[in-house]
Amino acid sequence: MNTPLQSDLSRRDFVKLSALTSGAAVLAGLAGNKVMGATAGSDRIRVGVIGAGGRGRGAAQNCLESSPGVEIVAIGDLFQRQVDGAETAIKKFAADKKLPEQKMQKFWGFDNYQKVLAADIDMVILAAPPGFRPTHFEAAVNAGKHIFTEKPVAVDPAGIRQFLAAARKAKEKRLAVVSGLQRRHQPSYIATMERIHGGDMGELVGGQCYWNGTGIWYREKNDPKFPELAGMSDLEWQCWNWYHWDWLSGDQIVEQHIHNLDVMNWAFGGPPVKFYGMGGRQTRDDPKGNIWDHFSVEMEYGNGARVMSMCRHTPKSTQRVTERLVGTKGWSHTEQSGEAFIKGEKPFKFAGALPNPYVVEHTDLIASIRKNEPLNEGERVAMSTLTAIGGRMSAYTGREISWKWLMEGSKLDIFPKDIRAGAGHFPVVAMPGKIDLV
């Protein structure tokens, strides 16, 4: 069942394939209706996983824990070692939780996602590197599958447009789509936002959001800890080390800070209208990717309020991953630990239960499938992803940019058109004043 690493794929291959395959759209629509009919009210939901790294394994376990009758039946990744490791982890998790034994088909290679989607599944978890997400999402919608998609969902405006078109199609086909922005499913955040939107803080006039951490993993090309990966090509190594390349991760502002930016969009009822950013690369060495290690972006929302966004990877630094909103009648604080409060004319402090939001998002997704009331968070996660991309583009170029231009004017497309084992894709580190807006 394994597939060769030499497969030649592009995130636009499915668009070309659809043009060559008569009636593909009609068949995909029928598949979507069949899946909903088969799973609404059903006790059994068969799940495939695309992307078998830490988040893919975690999401699979969260899904199993979230609802009865869930089975992981297929798993795929570029690398066989990741698939084998995920299979072991998922089976152990199921045994520890006294769940039924999980029996999985396994696929690896650049075309693993096609194999997973062709398996007998009702729902798919998309957890490969973000640069692949638009293609994987579009393929899943065309295949008529319900979807849990990790965030972010693209790395550039071209990818966002591809994702949005597929999200609209998913809604037409009544496919459920839930994203990995788990704060939207966390009671402390929900309770705080209800009060903010109810006027307890008056009009929002500003805020700050942060993802300031100490850094992330880095994987050497020929690490002796992974002898089975010796001799991988440059492009395969980049996928193995995906966080460190903007065309794979979107940079840290897109890959991680999207969580906090999404909270700001949630509070203000939509994305910013302007971005003015800066940042740079001080603690990262050159062959180790092309992403930056710090960003600071001012975002202006439709009512004129300005929000300051900060994210960084700095060793031995003070960490802060929180959101703060300021209104005319008070201010709020939220963080994923569950601490949430409002101070001002109508004070509030969250004191309710704190179920694991990574599990709850799957509970909500599967419940919507079984009730035949499919959630669709596709547009929302796309808008928050584009918010992060806008901040990065402003910082990379040193230019103030608008949301309108991001949506309608930018042609930026940084994901390579030809993905195969072989030569790598090594963009230079962005230097403000030396890189143009596209």
- What is the H or E stretch that residue 91 is in? helix 80-96
Question: How many CA atoms does the CB half-sphere of 188 hold within 13 Å?
Answer: 24
| The pair of three-digit structure tokens given for residue 227, joined into one six-digit string | 């002898």
**CB-based contact 415:161 (threshold 8 Å):** no
CB 387 within 8 A of CB 263: no
Instruction: Specify the CATH number of the domain 13-183+371-378.
Output: 3.40.50.720
What token pair was written down for 92? 């152990």
What are phi and psi for residue 240, nearest 5 degrees? Answer: -65, -30
Q: Which fold is adopted by the domain 202-352+382-408? A: Dihydrodipicolinate Reductase; domain 2 (3.30.360)
Determine if the peptide bond prior to 347 is cis (ω within 30°): no
What residue ranges do the domains of the chain occupy? 13-183+371-378, 202-352+382-408
| Whole-structure pTM value | 0.91
Contact 132, 156 (CB under 8 A): no
Q: Is 262 exposed, middle or buried (0-12, 13-18, 19+ CB in 10 A)?
A: buried
Question: φ and ψ at 180, to 5 degrees?
Answer: -80, 25
Residue-level pLDDT, tens digit, the chain, 438 residues:
443 333 333 333 323 333 332 233 323 333 333 344 445 556 899 999 999 999 999 999 999 999 999 999 999 999 999 999 999 999 999 999 999 999 999 999 999 999 999 999 999 999 999 999 999 999 999 999 999 999 999 999 999 999 999 999 999 999 999 999 999 999 999 999 999 999 999 999 999 999 999 999 999 888 898 888 888 999 999 999 999 999 999 999 999 999 999 999 999 999 999 999 999 999 988 788 999 999 999 999 999 999 999 999 999 999 999 999 999 999 999 999 999 999 999 999 999 999 999 999 999 999 999 999 999 999 999 999 999 999 999 999 999 999 999 999 999 999 999 899 999 999 999 999 999 999
Question: Are 327 and 196 in contact, with CB atoms under 8 Å apart?
Answer: yes
Please, is 248 exposed, middle or buried when counting C-beta atoms within 10 Å of its C-beta (0-12, 13-18, 19+)?
A: buried
Q: What per-residue confidence (pLDDT) applies to 92?
A: 98
CA atoms of 23 and 17, how far apart (whole Å): 11
Cα 55 to Cα 314, 380, 407: the distances in Å are: 23, 21, 29
